[in-house]
Amino acid sequence: MSDFLSDQWFEDLNARLYTSAPMALPENATACQVVFDVVQGPASLPHALTLSISNEGARVTPGDALAADTVVRLSYDDAAALTSGRLDSASALRDGRIKVRGDVNVLVPLAIWLRAVLAD
């Protein structure tokens, strides 16, 4: 995978999301948006990314969505480590390295699904 949060990284991840098996949405949901607020990163890279999931598929875009169901705040280094598999999301959450606001019910299936997508 390309350098974290680079234009190529977004392209590569979206290509993987396009070909992956769909994620099961929370009960009664038709779509959800999760914003990852990335702090302490290089000024030249986006400070946030939005993962939009619907019955049609998933897509990640730079920037934040104002109507996000869930906002996950974490450091740039932890976000990069999570996406590369060097950091476990459950451990990071337990250790307080990840802060969550909003609907946390989407995060467990999302983490499992993303781990499978990124591992391919």
Q: 48: Cβ–Cβ under 8 A, 6 or more apart, which residues?
A: 35, 36, 37, 38, 62, 63, 64
Residue 71 reports pLDDT greater than 80: yes
Q: Is residue 1 part of a domain?
A: no
Nearest to 30 by CA among 106, 113, 118: 106
19: domain CATH number? 3.30.1050.10
pLDDT digits (tens, 9 = 90+) for 17-55: 988 888 777 677 778 899 999 999 999 999 999 999 888
pLDDT digits (tens, 9 = 90+) for 75-108: 999 999 988 888 888 888 899 999 999 988 778 7
**Residue 96 lies in domain:** 7-119
Q: What is the pLDDT of residue 2?
A: 79
pTM, entire model? 0.87
Q: Is residue 2 part of a domain?
A: no
Q: Is residue 57 part of a domain?
A: yes
